[in-house]
Structure 1
């Protein structure tokens, strides 16, 4: 991967989930308005350039779509375009969209990949088969995985996807499934996840169960995922979006750094 993509960072973290108990514990969801579903920030140019490169050079690694999920993927692209119509900096010119960084994105092509070139978020489609007990991962454009690999999770139910996560037990799995079933098209929810990192690589896939925690003294960055869940009104699929924020540990405000040491002492051991 070109070295110019190795240090795309933020000036600050707009969300720090460890600062409040209700957002720190799982699942930690809060309501979010449709207008705030997707975000754009100071890292837009760098993140979008890397997304363009990954989609062009490594499409098989960052994209997957089950045959039956095409309808949901097309609806998702339409929903993204409708959302961006009200966002300053985006201009639709026929079958091309001009992004705020001036890049032209043709609308022809696989719908997930087109959507993945328009916004900073990774976008995943979750669908619950008729009579099935859980939602399955049936579509994705995943450019910035945080220590997981799309090919190992694609087509799997939520419980299997989260199998390596110690805290994701049967009881939590039932709560998450009930939450997914209850999401309404006009009422998305948001949560945030955080992880320590020794590097600033946005594209950070890893095999399941591999040890990715930095060793003593190696933690240099805080990586936060702003995650939203939104139901598409026609297909009834759920869109799981992931927006990555990365900040050097030494740039955290004093209060946030102190609280992080309190709730995650093992990261600093």
Structure 2
């Protein structure tokens, strides 16, 4: 499904950036953990469509993630009711009255819970020495192969990222060990893709020509669950056509500066070549 977003991009290219291996984390007010906006119905339709088209590619859960899934369900519902005007009008019905959406059912699994929000969600749990991806609902991926990611540690998940293991892996591990409940963090990630489709695989690289290139931004959040100690990694995707972005003063020049500064392998990874 193509995202014709009704909201502006939350992040523009930073000409000071010289590598994609920057954590860029900031503290996040818990009330802003999730974003609920005019694109809500589009994301719900997209998630349901992807579940029908490619169920194994967009949702996986290990048996040991059950407690974390249920805890996330409870914490997210409380957040949506408190901070985003959701209402539970019956024991089995949750309502987003602002955008006329409702969900019926008592299921607490990650897939069912993820339908309430626009974000994709990954649950990371410490099993042994490492944080492992134990459950994930990822309907708007950027070159993501779910069957090859589930059950893997964070370092292995990021193996395709040039320089990740040597330059940033240890920092990420320390961050996950130190993350505190009720003190979420946020960062922005960006890429350029050749179309506006929310589900992106590299197979479509540059096939549609530069005139259809899109600026893709991921608002990534990390939240520690207080009971299970799992980490909730949220990914909200924003996609905007370059023809629209070029109207923003300095956008084209900033993108060009990024292309010049990034190492060749990172530039290719970001679809800039």
TM > 0.5: yes
Counterpart secondary structure, 2:99: coil
Q: Is the 8 A contact 2:186 2:220 kept in 1?
A: yes
Correspondence for 1:264: 259
Rounded Cα–Cα distance in structure 2 between residues aligned with 1:211 and 1:19 = 29
1:236 match:
229
- Structure 1 Cα separation of the partners of residues 214 and 6 of structure 2: 11
1:117 to 2:95 alignment: no
> By how many angstroms is 1:192 displaced?
1.1
Q: Contact 1:226/1:243 (CA < 8 Å) preserved in 2?
A: yes
**Which whole-Å CA distance do the structure 2 matches of 1:235 and 1:45 have between them?**
31
Kept in 2: contact 1:75–1:234 (CA 8 A) = yes
Question: Equivalent residues in 2 for 1:118-133 (5 A)?
Answer: 118-130=116-128, 132=129
Report the CA distance shift for 1:242/1:22 in structure 2 as closer, same or farther (over 3 A): farther
2:216 is matched with which residue?
223
The aligned residue for residue 101 of structure 2 is 103
Distance 1:92 1:23 in 2: 45
Partner Cα distance (2:17, 2:74) in 1: 36
TM-score (normalised: structure 2) = 0.86
1:246 equivalenced with 2:246 (yes/no): no
Alignment of 1:169-248 (within 5 A): 169-204=165-200, 206=201, 213-214=205-206, 217=210, 220-248=213-241
Distance 1:50 1:81, change over 3 A: same
Number of corresponding residues: 259
Residues 167-196 of structure 1, C-alpha deviations (whole Å, 9 max, x = no match): 312341001000111100021111111111
The runs of at least 4 aligned residues of structure 1 exceeding 6 Å deviation read none
Aligned ranges for residues 21-40 of structure 1 at < 5 Å? 21=17, 25-40=21-36
Q: What are the Cα deviations for residues 96-126 of structure 1, in whole angstroms up to 9, with x where unaligned?
A: 1112432321242352112111000011000
State the superposition RMSD in angstroms.
2.4
**Per the alignment, do residues 212 and 184 of structure 1 end up closer, same or farther by CA in structure 2, a change over 3 Å counting?**
farther
* Distance of 1:223 and 1:211 partners within structure 2: 17
Structure-2 separation of matches of 1:214 and 1:225: 20
* Aligned-residue offset at 1:255: 2.1
Range moving further from structure 2, 18-27 or 135-144: 18-27
Report the Cα offset of residue 22 of structure 1: 10
Gaps of 5+ in 2: 261-266
Q: Is it true that 1:80 corresponds to 2:73 in the alignment? A: no
Distance in 1 between the 2:122 and 2:13 partners? Answer: 22
CA distance in 2, matches of 1:69, 1:257: 44
> How far apart are residue 52 of structure 1 and its match?
2.7
**TM-score of the two chains, using structure 1 as the length reference:** 0.87
- Residues 229 and 238 in structure 1, CA contact (< 8 A), matched pair in contact too: yes
Q: Which runs of 5+ in 1 are unaligned?
A: none
Q: Which stretch of the first structure deviates more once superposed, 190-199 or 17-26?
A: 17-26
Contact 1:106–1:114 (8 Å) recurs in 2: no
